[in-house]
Each structure stands twice: as C-alpha cells, then as structure tokens.
Amino acid sequence: MSTDTQKNGSQVPALELRALCKSFGGLQATREVTLRIMPGDRQAIIGPNGAGKTTLFNLITGIYPVTSGQVLLFGQDVTSWPSHRRTALGMARTFQVTSLFPKLTVLDNVLLAIKGLRPSKFVMWRFLSSYKEVYDKAHHLLEQANFLDRKDTEVRNLSHGEQRQLEIVLGLASDPKILLLDEPAAGLSSGESTEMSEFLMKLDPKLAILLIEHDMDVVFDVADEISVLHFGQILETGTPESIKKSPRVQEIYLGTD
C-alpha cells in the first residue's frame, strides 16, 4: 500500500488503518478497511454515494466509535481516543457539509481554530483580542487565502464558495501534519473547483492529505494515489492512471453489465 513518494521503511505512517470495521445495526458501513498514509502523501478516496467515505472519516477522527479494527496516528493507537486528543496529535479535517461558526466573524472563526490546541484556550480573565501572536497568525492565514478584506464579515454572509475555502483555512489553522478533506469542492462551480485544486496543490508538501472527492478533476490534480471504496470496502488502490483504466471502477460508476 505504500506509495512511490515515500519509500523510507523506517518512517512512521501519518495515518494507518488496520482492518477497520463499522456497523450501524445490520448495516456494515465500513468493512476491513486497511490504509496507510505516509507524511507528504496525497491520497484520495473515491466511490459512489453511500460507499461509506464520510463514515470512514468519522471513524478516523473519532466522531463514531469503531466496531473493530484500529486507527493509528503517527504510530500511536488512537482507536479509543476522543476527537480533540487526536487533533492534538496533528490531525485536522474539513467537512462535506460546511461546518463553520455562522454567527462569528471570519477572523473569530480562524482565532478559534488556532486556539484549539493551545492551553490558553481556558484563559478567562483576558480578552481574546489581546493575544497578539495568535492574531498575527490569523492574519497570516487569512492573507494566504485572500480573506483579509473580509475578516470582519460574519461567516453566514459569505458565499458558498468562500465558505468552502474557509473550511480549509480552519483545517490548516492548527498546523496539522495530516489533513482530511471531505469533498472540498462540493457544490462549487467548475471554475471554483479548479481554484480549489490549485489552492490544495500549493499547500506544504510535507503535509499528508487524505481527500474524499467526487470531482474527478480535483482528484486527478491533487492525488498521487487513489483508493476506490464500494459498500464500505476498498476495491482497488492505485495511481490515477491505473484507476482510470480499471474495468471494475468503470463498472461501479457506470453500471456496465
């Protein structure tokens, strides 16, 4: 399962899934998923609707408890850890359905995201606005994403495309080492999703990315390796070229019989 970008055997994978299973009652949403992502890897998970892609993310980030199997982050078994502790190890994620803080300003959204891993998040006797260093960092992040002029806008007043971008800015705010992107281009126009993949390709090459996406242009731009998920199972893993040509993948997507 290792990619050609990282051949160093001694390196610890950023994320490793071992025979991960999840059942909701009788429904097996995730079956024996095994996956390994090395630092700097760009992997994508594709699959038809209901294949269990988002469920897989929810297992990795600790939103759902797993039924069986293991989740390892940077070599640590985090299977039973709550989400916030996994984040502290260097994991971040974005959501398919935009989940920002709608009534807070863009700046406050980013400040919250930066504060998440700092002990000073418990400070009650000092204004948040008095933390110069956090402020500067927020400015820097917003500048990178071209959001600086809209920093005092309430998030609910942003367009959908802008909210999708801010989703990623929030994901990057904690300086993660692995970023899980759940359909970053969902609901974007083709022009917007091109910008999205350009934005993603500009990210720090040391950052590992696991991407769920329906927009194949984005997937082929960003990912070096693609896994195909179908009924909760990984059917195939390979380079974008081999996946494109794979008859089984075509069968799933096009329903040839």
Partner 1 sequence: MANQQFKILIVAATLATLVLIVPHSGSFVVLLATRAMAFAILAMSVDLLLGFTGLSSMGQAAYFGVGAYLTAVLATKFHFGLGWDFWIVVILGILLGAALAALFGLFAIRAGGVYFLMITLALGQCVWGLAYRWNSLTGGDNGINMSGRPNFGLDLGNEVTFFYLVFAFFAVSMALMYVLVRSPFGQSLAGIRERELRMQILGYNTWLHKYIAFIIAGGFGGLAGVLWAQTNGHVSPETVVLTTSVDSLLMVVLGGSGTLVGAAIGTAIVFGLREYLSTLVPWWQYVLGGVYVLTILYLPMGLMGLLSGVRQRFGSQGKGEGLKKLATKPS
Token pair 């693609």 in the structure block, residue = 226
At its nearest, how many Å lie between partner 1 and the CB of residue 239?
Answer: 28
Query: Which residues, numbered 16-55, are part of the site for partner 1 (CB under 8 A)?
Result: none
Q: Which residues contact 183 (CB under 8 A, 6 or more apart)?
A: 96, 212, 213, 214
Q: What's the sign of the alpha-carbon dihedral 27, 249, 237, 47?
A: negative
d(CA 132, CA 123): 15
At its nearest, how many Å lie between partner 1 and the CB of residue 91?
Answer: 9
At its nearest, how many Å lie between partner 1 and the CB of residue 94?
Answer: 9
At its nearest, how many Å lie between partner 1 and the CB of residue 183?
Answer: 16
Given 1, 21, 145, 216, the residue binding partner 1 (CB under 8 A): 145
d(CA 34, CA 253): 22
Q: Which stretch binds partner 1 (CB under 8 A): 25-33, 41-49, 64-72, 111-119?
A: 111-119
| Nearest residue (CB) to partner 1, 167 versus 213 | 167
Query: Which residues, numbered 147-166, are part of the site for partner 1 (CB under 8 A)?
Result: 149-150, 153, 157-159, 161-162, 165
d(CA 248, CA 25): 29
Longest Cα pair distance anywhere in the chain, in angstroms? Answer: 67
The size of the interface with partner 1 (CB under 8 A), counted in residues, is: 53
CB neighbour class for 189 (10 Å; exposed up to 12, middle 13-18, buried from 19): exposed
Q: What's the angle, vertex CA 215, arms to CA 149 and CA 205, rounded to 5? A: 65
At its nearest, how many Å lie between partner 1 and the CB of residue 170?
Answer: 7
Instruction: Give the interface with partner 1 as residue ranges (CB under 8 A).
Output: 61, 63, 82-84, 87-88, 92-93, 95, 99-104, 108, 111-113, 115-117, 120-129, 131, 144-146, 149-150, 153, 157-159, 161-162, 165, 170, 173-174, 192, 195, 198-199
